Amino acid sequence: MLVPVPLVMVVLPLTFAGGGGGRRWFGGRGESQRAEAQAARDAAAAAFYELDTAQRDLRISIEMITAVDDSPAARRTAADFAALGQRIDRVSRDYITAVDAHDLDRDDLDAATAGRARADLTWARDELVHTKADLDRFAQGLGPLLQQAETQLARLAPAVERARQALLAASNALDAVRGSGLRADDLAARLAALSPELTKLNQGAGQHGVQETIRRADDVLRKAEAVRGEAERLPERAAEIDRRLVSLRTRAQAITTRAAGVEPVLSELRRRYSAACWQDLQPVPEQAARAVARAEEKLKEAQAAREAQRWPDATALLATVRALLNTTDEAVSAAGDRLRRLDEVSFDQRKEIDRTRFAIRDAQRLAMAGRSTPDPRHARPLDEAVERLERAIAGLEGRHPDWWHFLSETEAVRQAVARVVQHIREERGGGH
């Protein structure tokens, strides 16, 4: 049967409605299933995009943390993020598989196929949403680590800049010193050794890591500032060495003059006192002459080191000269001091005896303070001190007493008593 022309004109537009390129019109429930499946596809695509964006953003944070922090917590966080990444890969593959499995735009799509597509895509979307929620919770827990990493990164640029400025300041200080005629070769060598470190700083944290770059910058800063400081002090150091050379030469000459007076003092000691009082001083004149001669030799070496600008060598040699002269000075002074003390005690030994007895009595009063009987640990050494003093006094009997032995004994007694006093005070102080 032939269809009338007007009816054909009505059917054709309905057949091609929607611009589907010949898409078959389902009508009713079939078209509704297609629309729901397409809506599920769009929702899954949006969830996929949100998850992918969140993962990309979080990856930047994780990379920043791992670049700065090598602690167990940071390593554990990186491992957890990697595990989440595997899960994201899995649900993303499931989503892509679901999309590829269903062509929702084809003409012959039936309602049942559209329904299965909607179910598959809805399940894929739910998995993407759940994974995104877990990723968000994971991101919320990164606060402390992320803040620490941002703090480290905030230190990075200033630390590198400070190191560069310190190197520049050290170089300028070194140039100024050289301009004054001082070579400063050792400082120049130390500054040159920092050049490879500057190269690594310029290469940046991307190649060497944030923490390592900050550590290197701090190390360069410290070493460069040390070079700058020493360079700035070098003129004064040179002037100080010059002053010490002059001063020690003068002192050596003075000790030589004083050493010449030791022999007359020894002669007086030999004339008036027993051998025990002066025998140990016999070698002093010869020892003083040798020590002064050695000191003058070291002074010449120090002068040579100064002229060669070997500052550490010059300083060490001057320290040796000072030690030699100190020892010699003490030995030369000992002879005159010995004669003075022997004269004083031989004229009036009572002063030395009373001084020592006072120290003993003072210690005995302290030992008895707050007690009816003294502690044997304190009483015994004090009793021994009394006995030792009495023996020293008894040793003065005779025609030529050993006055030096007497003085040595009374000094030893006072030292022993002082140790007891210190022990008592420490015990009582600890008890409080």
**Short-list 273, 286, 393, CA closest to 343:** 273
Cα dihedral 422, 426, 427, 431 in deg (nearest 10): 150
The reported pLDDT for the residue numbered 264 is 92
**Angle formed by the axes of helices 143-179 and 195-203, nearest 10°:** 140
Is 379 in contact with 332 (CB distance < 8 Å)? no
Measured CA to CA, the distance from residue 372 to residue 359 in angstroms comes to 21
Q: 418: which 2 tokens?
A: 């002082």
Name 21's Cβ contacts closer than 8 Å, sequence gap at least 6. Answer: none
Give the whole-angstrom CA distance, residue 352 versus residue 414. 11
pTM comes to 0.54
> Which parts of the chain have pLDDT scores under 50?
1-27, 431-432
**Alpha carbon distance 42, 119 (integer Å):** 13
As given in the structure block, the two tokens for residue 292 are 């002064």
Please provide the distance, in angstroms rounded to a whole number, between the alpha carbons at the two ends of the chain: 127
Q: How far apart are CA 342 and CA 346, in angstroms?
A: 6
- Give 217-220 contacts, CB < 8 A, sequence gap 24+: 217/156, 217/159, 217/160, 217/162, 217/163, 218/159, 218/163, 220/163, 220/166, 220/167, 220/194
Q: Whole-angstrom Cα distance, residue 416 to residue 351?
A: 19
pLDDT of 120: 86
Dihedral (C-alpha) 276, 278, 280, 283: value to the nearest 10 degrees? -140
**The two three-digit tokens of residue 403, written as one number:** 């006055």
Structure tokens at 273: 């006192």
DSSP characters over 48-90: HHHHHHHHHHHHHHHHHHHHH--SHHHHHHHHHHHHHHHHHHH
